[in-house]
Structure 1
Amino acid sequence: MNSPVKKTDKDALADMPLVAHLIELRTRLLRIVVVWLLVFAGLFYFANDLYTFISAPLRVFLPEGTSMIATEVASPFLTPFKLALISALFLAMPFVLHQFWSFIAPGLYKHEKRLAMPLLVSSILLFYAGMAFAYFVVFPLVFGFFTSVTPTGVAVMTDINKYLDFVLTLFLAFGLAFEIPIATVLLVLTGAVSVEKLKQSRAYVVVGCFVIGMVLTPPDVISQTLLALPMWLLYEVGIIFSRFVKPRPAETDETSE
C-alpha cells in the first residue's frame, strides 16, 4: 500500500481557494493597520517635537528675524499630526514587510526563502539609510543653496505644510534610491536579467544616476555628485551580491520544504 504523499507549502497554497487567500490578506492588512495606529498613538504626543527635528535643516539657514509660517488655520495641528502618522508608518515598516513576506512565503522556492529574510532586513536598513542620507547630507545642501540665492528684499518664510510635503518627497525618493542593491538582486533572482547583463549596462546606469541626481538636487555639481556616487556604488554592491543568487528555474518542478 502506497503511503500518502506529503504536500508541500506550495501544494497547500495551490489548493487554497481564492476566498481563503483574500481572507488571509485581509487579516494581515488589519494587523498592519492596528500596529500602525498603536505606533502612531505613541508618537502623537511628540508630534511637535518631531516637526521641530524635521524642520531643523531649514531653520538653521533662515535669516535672522524670520521663521516658518502656517498659512492655513488648521496647519499648526494637522501638519504635526500628518508627520506623526507617516513617521509611525516608517517605524512600523519592519512589521509591515514581515506581514507581506509571510503572505507570499508559501509560494516561494526553498532557495528563495533562504534569501528572502536577508533581503527583507537589508531593504529596511537601506531605506532607513537613504532617509538618513537625505536628512544629514542632502537637506543642508538643498536648503543652504535655496536660501543663498534668495533675491534681495525677499524674506524666506516657508509654510510648514509645504515644507513637510517637500521633505517627505525627498525622504521617499532617497529611501527608494538606496534600494538599488535589492532591485538588482531581485532582477537576477527572477531571471529577468543576468549578472553579465548588469555589468554591460554599467555605463548607462552611471549616466542615469547623474541624471537622477540632477533632477532631485539643486543645480550644482557637488550635491548632484553626492547623490549619484552612492547610487552607482550601491549598483555595484548589487552586482556583487547578485553573483551568489540562483535564478528562478524556468520550470516549476522544484518544490519548497
Structure 2
Amino acid sequence: MSSALDDDTQRAIAEGRETAGAVLRSAQKDLQKVFVVFLVGFLGVFMALRRGVWVWLKGVTTQRMPAELQSQFDIIAQTPFDVILLQAKISLVAGIIVASPVLVYFSRDALKERGHWPEVPIPLWKAVPIVLLSGVLFMGGMAYGYLLFFPIMFNFLAGNAVSAGFAPYWSIVLWTEFVLLLTFSFGLAAQMPLAITGLSYTGIVPYEQFRDKWRYAVVAIFVFGAVFSPPDPFTQIMWAAPLLVLYGFSLYLAKFAVTMKRGSERLSAAGVLRRNWNATAAPLVAGVAVGALQWPTLFEVIL
C-alpha cells in the first residue's frame, strides 16, 4: 500500500530526523549541562507557581472588579490533578525554552556541517542591542496586557456573567491557558517595530510597501484581534489600538533606518565612485596627461 505522504514530505521528515540525530550526537558529551539548565528552569518555574504566581495572577484578574463582584468571583480546580498537572506542563515548557539555546550552542558543529548555521554570523555588538530591544518590546507588550488589558477585560467578562445570572467561577486550566495565550500574543505583537524595521532595512520587504499597504495592515490587525480577544467591540478596540500605534511607530522607525542606510550609501566613497566613475576618471586622466607633457621639462631640470 502506498504511503499517504508524498515524496517531498517523506524526504523532509527523513532530513529532520537525521538533523535531530546529528544534533543530539554532536551535543552528547554536553547533554548533562543541557539537562542541568532544563532542570533549573523547570524547578524555578514550578516553585514560582507554587509560591506566589497564582495569587498575583488572580490579583491582576480582580484588580478592576468592584467588591461585590469580587465576592462572587472565584477560580476553581475542577479535578484533583488540575493544579499539579498545570504547574508541571508550564514548568516543562519553560525548561525546554531555557535549555534549547544551550543545546543549539553545543550542537553548532553538526548544524554547520548540514548548512543550518548562518555562514556570516551577526557581530556581537550588533546582535546584543537587537536581542535587548526585542526583550524590552516583549516586556512592554506584557506590561500593557497585565496593567491595562487584563484587568478591564476580566472585569467586563465577570460582570457580564453576573448580569446574565451566572456565578463567575472559572476553571484554573482554561483561565491560565487564556492568560498565557494573550500574554504571548501581546509580547509577539510588540515585536512589530523590530520586524518591520529589519525587513525594510535588509530590503526583503521595501519600506514603501509597508507604507502604501497600511489599510491592509489595519484590517489584519482587527482580524487578528477578533481571533485572540473576546468577541466584544470594547476589548477588540483595546487590542487593536496599541497595535495601530505600534504600526505607525514601526513605519517611522523603518523610514529612519532606511533613510540612514540609503544616505550612508550615497555618501560613501565607494558609492560615489561607482555612480560617478566617468566624472571621477576625467580629472585623473587629465592629470596623467599633464604630467606626461611636463615630464621632459622636469627631467631636464633634474639633470
Given the two structures, how large is their TM-score scaled by the length of structure 2?
0.60
The one of 42, 49, 52 aligned to 1:40? 42
In 2, the alpha carbon distance for the partners of 1:188 and 1:143 equals 38
Q: Looking at both structures, which has the greater relative contact order when contacts are Cα pairs under 8 Å and sequence separation is at least 6?
A: 1
Query: Aligned to 1:227, what secondary structure does the other structure show?
Result: helix
Aligned residues: 225
Please state how far the C-alpha of 1:26 moved relative to its aligned partner.
Answer: 5.9
2:130 is matched with: 119
Which deviates the most, 226-235 or 194-203?
Answer: 226-235
1:193 is matched with: 205
Give me the identity figure in percent.
28
Query: Is 1:79 aligned to 2:90, yes or no?
Result: no
Give yes or no for contact 1:210–1:224 (8 Å, CA) kept in 2. yes
Q: If each structure's helix is expressed as a fraction of its own residues, which one has the higher value?
A: 2
Counterpart residue type for residue 211 of structure 2: K
Give yes or no for contact 1:57–1:143 (8 Å, CA) kept in 2. no
Please state how far the C-alpha of 1:44 moved relative to its aligned partner.
Answer: 2.5
Give yes or no for contact 2:34–2:102 (8 Å, CA) kept in 1. no
Larger radius of gyration: 2
Query: Aligned to 1:68, what secondary structure does the other structure show?
Result: strand
1:107 is matched with: 119
Query: Is 1:53 aligned to 2:64, yes or no?
Result: no
In 2, the alpha carbon distance for the partners of 1:160 and 1:126 equals 28
Over residues 96-148 of structure 1, what are the superposed CA-to-partner deviations in whole Å (9 max), with x where a residue is unaligned?
Answer: 669869967752366x7664332222222212221221111111122111111
Once the two structures are superposed, the pairs formed by residues 1-257 of structure 1 within 5 Å of their partners are 22-23=22-23, 27=27, 34-48=36-50, 49-60=52-63, 61=65, 62-86=69-93, 92=98, 106-108=118-120, 115-150=126-161, 151-243=163-255, 244=257
In 2, the alpha carbon distance for the partners of 1:121 and 1:105 equals 22
In 2, the alpha carbon distance for the partners of 1:136 and 1:89 equals 28
Counterpart residue type for residue 169 of structure 2: M
Assess, with a 3 A threshold, how the Cα gap between structure 1 residues 120 and 197 changes in structure 2: closer, same or farther: same
Which deviates the most, 61-70 or 131-140?
Answer: 61-70
Give yes or no for contact 2:77–2:171 (8 Å, CA) kept in 1. yes
Gaps of 5+ in 1: 1-17, 248-257
In 2, the alpha carbon distance for the partners of 1:89 and 1:53 equals 24
Query: Aligned to 2:238, what secondary structure does the other structure show?
Result: helix
Gaps of 5+ in 2: 1-17, 109-115, 263-303
In 2, the alpha carbon distance for the partners of 1:83 and 1:186 equals 31
Please state how far the C-alpha of 1:219 moved relative to its aligned partner.
Answer: 4.3
Give yes or no for contact 1:185–1:241 (8 Å, CA) kept in 2. yes
Counterpart residue type for residue 37 of structure 2: V
Which deviates the most, 79-88 or 69-78?
Answer: 79-88
Please state how far the C-alpha of 1:87 moved relative to its aligned partner.
Answer: 5.5
Please state how far the C-alpha of 1:178 moved relative to its aligned partner.
Answer: 0.8
Counterpart residue type for residue 39 of structure 1: G
Give yes or no for contact 2:62–2:155 (8 Å, CA) kept in 1. no
Counterpart residue type for residue 78 of structure 2: T
1:13 is matched with: none
In 1, the alpha carbon distance for the partners of 2:173 and 2:232 equals 26
Give yes or no for contact 1:75–1:161 (8 Å, CA) kept in 2. yes
Which deviates the most, 206-215 or 144-153?
Answer: 206-215
Assess, with a 3 A threshold, how the Cα gap between structure 1 residues 170 and 184 changes in structure 2: closer, same or farther: same
Query: Aligned to 2:170, what secondary structure does the other structure show?
Result: coil
Which deviates the most, 122-131 or 23-32?
Answer: 23-32
